[in-house]
Structure 1
């Protein structure tokens, strides 16, 4: 079921473009927010040994967001699903991204602390302390959204593909 649906979704070049561009943008943004990637005063990348788990989780969240968004776009375009069905993919992506980005890391955190004062500092200390569990929650949300989207596409579009990727009559 998953394999056939993914073949169908990614048979169009626009799905590949959406996934690749969204993954790249989100991946670079999250690396920059977590201080893995620096653009000023010169371009640099660092990956300390104790941050490897965070780096891997960033890759997974970025990939799942790209995948779920491509599925949602495909469902909106092809199946012409109602807004309630496609909303699952969009809402899941937004929640997954929101939970997956550590806003307390890097320059974003300093901006929020200076804007909101003690309340901002308190909320950011919570986010810093529970960064890994929050990213794991984002992965769980995005995984659930993926399965709901696959089920919706499978129900809305009854197409059987053979091993060559061709549509069976």
Structure 2
């Protein structure tokens, strides 16, 4: 039987994966109603991601070293900021739907954060040395920024 901590990690990872897929779909969606629906789904998935992260942390907080508690606290704050950015994208889609570049910036931040998280967790799970995890993290951010900027340029040439 799965323990509570592992179950929360599974729900967190599932929410993160779904949020990433929905965010990608949002970037390539041109229909405004569909964009709004996807943005709402992104907000909900990020809230679930945050809830399950907090529950996973709390389920074994006393066994974590102080440094780990600080790192996980930082991740919790990042999750709250990601929710705020997704909400900003949703507000823009309702109030200023022509400002697709700003919507992409908000959604792109979330996609980069999620992608970076996937890359870092994978590197750690593969027992990569710390220096390599840092390089992978920086590389994932750089790749994400490049991808979002490329999508924004493509959107500008289509418009």
TM-score, normalising length: structure 2: 0.44
Task: Return the structure number with greater helix share.
Answer: 2
TM-score, normalising length: structure 1: 0.42
